Structure 1
Amino acid sequence: MLTLVRGRQAHLDHLVAGLLCQTTQPDELVIAYMQDEPPHLPAALPFAVRLIQVAGEPMPLALARNRAAAAATGEVLAFLDVDCIPDPEFVRRGREATGEFPHGVFLPEVRYLPANSGGWTTADGAEPDYAHLRHESIRHPSKPDLAGCTVAPIDDFGELWGLAFVLTADCWQAAGGMDEGYCGYGAEETDFGRRLEAAGARLFWLGGTVCFHQHHHVHKPPLQHFESIVRNARLFHDRWGTWCMDYWLDDLARRGLIARNEDGLSVLRHPLPAEIAATRQGPDVLFS
């Protein structure tokens, strides 16, 4: 199990609580932390913990995932964002699926939770309240319902989602890991999907498990990451000859911030602080 952390200690506490409820325990938890001090963890855990500090600003997500993968000792790499709480079958299903399809990359169902200042554990705080999680969470409208599914093939590697994915260490290495040229928000996981496809991997939806995404405020569009989006979009275009993040780039163009065509992208102006603040969504918005 691998996760990245900057702040969000309460989210990490819930993720660890979910790991403690697994029907098949992970061999280890690798945490790449992008902050000055390591995150707090319970004193005794039934699996090994490896803490890897990764410095950098803006957040070096590709580098952090590479460092976490390099530190892992297992044959299966299950990446789960710190915002997510795995249900009890996550580790078991990841092992089963990679055992059946060693060159597969597997995306579990992710369901989104509303804001909840009281947290998502049982009254005694010992474990996630899974009944409450299932009742309150909703599936992203662009993602399929995986009820009754074991695995289902995905034709488009653009579906690769860094939020939660499972693959073998051999599959990761065959793709060369993530491109560390990407830094900050955006494009690194889309690029990794291209690298996986070129290496001969196969992409699947993974049924039989759900990961619950804990709420945090989002921006639509994420203007606070304007510089990273522009830089990483240009880098992706240089690498692959096409654009990614079209949804966000189109929005930036409509706002008069950028202009782009098949050949390049120009910055017309930077967003004002008031514009950035206005894109911050309320607690009722669960995803961007």
Structure 2
Amino acid sequence: MTAPEVSVVVPYYRAQADLDRLLAALAAQDHPASRLQVVIADDGSPEPPALPAELPFASAVVRHEDRGFRASAARALGVQAAEGSVLAFLDGDMLPEPGYLTAACAAPAASGLAVVVGRRRHLDPRLLEAGGWRPGESVPEWARLEEPAWLARAYADSEDLRRADSTSYRFIISAVLTVAREVYEDAGGFDPSFVGYGGEDWELAHRLWRAGGAFAYEPRAVAWQAGEDFGGREDPAEARRVKNREALVLAPRIAAPTARGLSLGLGGDDCPARAAVTLGAAGDAATVLGADALLQAFPSARLLVRGALGDDAAACLTDERVALEAPAGEPDAAGPSDPRVALRSAPDWGVDVAAPVRPAEPGARPVPKDASDLLLRLERDGVERVEVTDEAGDVLATLTSSRARWREHREGAVPPARTLRVRAADLGWRAVEAEPDLEAWWGGWG
């Protein structure tokens, strides 16, 4: 099979020695140099990076002005100059082994949805300081530092990300990230608005997931970095401060429970939700009870109630998470054209409930963690659509993942990768009776 056209995008800032070593490592790749382009994206260095006069592959340098640490914007700028169908992102201090690109690019060459993270390993900086060692040579045992245990455990638990879910963005590292251009562009690419260390790769990864990206960890794509992982390089207190800032930046951008817990909804039309729920009205008391039950199950959801309600019922649904269906004839607002905005504002799951539902057991109340865990299990199993039925087999609710919706947007009318049909009783839910005891529901005895 012909090797793919690959563009390696490298963010750079005042690190010529690191760049020289990286270029040497790329020159030693077993991927054909004739099908390789390297784009150096300078994040505003006082002096531009210097490239050797003779390189075996095509190269380019792009620059923007220095307005702080803007690695995300630099990568986005680099992609504009990239010509390959496969985009390989490598940080400037990485040293890929000779087989790195061949291993990392195999899946993106075969599928436009592939998102591959390589194996970032760490070496003792004294190996570089001593001289004599060259990229492409084996790293001696004494210079091999321990790999981050949390990443190794995550890849093992997820079967190398084959059983990924919407929280798996945390295991996608931009220092060793390779993606098919198709899914990268579908997701909108790196966000240039990020300023400061960290978070931009996780935010991109979550959009890649929503757009249907097929995550994979490729342990044969090995690249070395001098020094320990971030957590081992920094003073613990300073590291915690940096990571807390990163968490605060990501919370309004990522709806997964690992980004903001289960109850923090956050506001704004462009703030993603874990679930967007549409509820069909069926009597005032039943509808209000069903809305309350669904919001207990999904505390951060956006809830739209379809159908006419009396004034008293409508007054009970003035929660900012709840919207009542617009009157007939009002035009729908046009959706955003920027895929970054579209994917951020979309929910991970759309839940269409035909008529109000409630927990089946008397006195039982929804447990948000149970609902969240169910969605994660569905995602890991590749389920993109769920049909929840009553005892008669009629569909009470339909759950559709953003991945299925985006795939349909991209490819047209295609069936979801996997549809699950399950009885509401098996999930511990049932339809609300026509005239429920609303006081008993609220009081906790019914």
Instruction: Give TM-score scaled by structure 1 length.
Output: 0.73
Amino acid at match of 1:172: Y
1:231-255: CA deviation from partner (whole Å, max 9, x where unpaired): x544422223568789xxxxxxxxx
Aligned equivalents of 2:108 and 2:247: distance in 1? 31
One-letter identity of the residue aligned with 1:55: E
Q: Aligned letter for 2:169?
A: F
Aligned pair 1:218/2:242, yes or no? no
Partner of 1:97: 107
Q: Count residues with an aligned counterpart.
A: 244
Deviations 1:57-111 (A, max 9, x none): 3211211111011110011100011111010011212232212333111111111
Distance 1:87 1:194, change over 3 A: same
Secondary structure of 1:195 counterpart: helix
The answer for the alignment partner of 1:4 in structure 2 is: 11
| Alignment correspondent of 1:143 | 151
Alpha-carbon distance in 2 for matches of 1:11, 1:183 = 22
Aligned partner letter, 1:14 = R
Letter of the aligned partner of 2:233 in structure 1?
A: V
Equivalents in 1 of 2:53, 2:149: separation in Å?
A: 39
List alignment gaps of at least 5 residues for structure 1: 247-260, 265-288
CA contact under 8 A between 1:84 and 1:213: conserved in structure 2? yes
The range that moved more, 138-147 or 9-18, is 138-147
Shift of the 110–133 alpha-carbon distance from structure 1 to 2, 3 Å rule, reads: farther
CA 1:135–1:96: 2 relative to 1, 3 Å:
farther
Q: 1:237 aligns with which of 236, 251, 261?
A: 251
Structure of higher CA gyration radius: 2
Write the distance in 1 (CA, Å) between the matches of 2:130 and 2:178. Answer: 24
Cα separation, 1, equivalents of 2:151 and 2:243 = 26
Q: Give 3-state SS (helix, strand or coil) of 2:151's partner.
A: coil
The residue that corresponds to 1:36 in the other structure is: 46
CA distance in 1, matches of 2:243, 2:195: 7
> How far apart are residue 118 of structure 1 and its match?
4.4
**Cα shift at 1:180:** 2.2
Quote the Cα distance in structure 2 between the aligned partners of 1:188 and 1:104: 19
Partner of 1:61: 71
1:104-143 matched pairs, under 5 angstroms:
104-116=114-126, 118-119=128-129, 122=132, 127-128=134-135, 130-132=137-139, 136-138=143-145, 139-143=147-151
Q: Which moved more, 1:185-194 or 1:210-219?
A: 210-219
Contact 2:18 2:93 in 1 (8 A): yes
Match of 2:192 in 1: 180
| Equivalent pair of 2:86/2:109 in contact (CA under 8 Å) | no
Q: 1:86 to 1:120 in 2, by over 3 A?
A: farther
Matched to 2:19, the amino acid is L
Contact 1:178 1:189 in 2 (8 A): yes
- 1:249 maps to what in 2? none
Is this contact kept in 2: 1:187–1:245, CA < 8 A? no
Structure 2 residue runs of 5 or longer lacking an equivalent are 1-7, 267-446
Cα distance in 1 for residues equivalent to 2:18 and 2:151: 23
CA change 1:162–1:112 in 2 (3 A) is same
TM-score of the two chains, using structure 2 as the length reference: 0.49
Offset of 1:178 from its aligned partner? 1.7
Is the 8 Å Cα contact of residues 31 and 99 (structure 2) preserved in structure 1?
A: yes
Shift of 1:207: 2.9
Q: Is the 8 A contact 1:152 1:206 kept in 2?
A: no
- Structure 2 vs 1, CA of residues 134 and 73 (structure 1 numbering), >3 Å: closer, same or farther? farther
Verify the 8 A CA contact 1:57 1:184 in the aligned structure 2.
no
Partner of 2:152, secondary structure, is: coil
Aligned-CA RMSD value: 3.2
Q: Which residue of 2 aligns with 1:153?
A: 162
Q: Specify the code of the residue in structure 2 equivalent to 1:21.
A: A
Distance across 1 between alignment mates of 2:28 and 2:184: 27
Contact 2:95 2:223 in 1 (8 A): yes
SS in 2 for 1:79: strand
Distance, in Å, in 1 between the alignment partners of 2:254 and 2:161 is 27
CA distance in 2, matches of 1:38, 1:76: 26
Q: Check conservation: 1:120, 1:133, Cα contact below 8 A.
A: no
Distance in 2, Cα, partners of 1:109 & 1:53: 28
Confirm or deny: 8 A CA contact 2:119 2:218 kept in the other structure: yes
Name 1:194's counterpart in structure 2.
206
Q: Does 1:15 align with 2:27?
A: no
**Percentage of pairs with the same residue:** 23
- Equivalent AA in structure 2 for residue 76 of structure 1: V
- Does the 8 Å CA contact 1:80/1:164 hold for their aligned counterparts? yes
Which residue identity is paired with 2:187? A
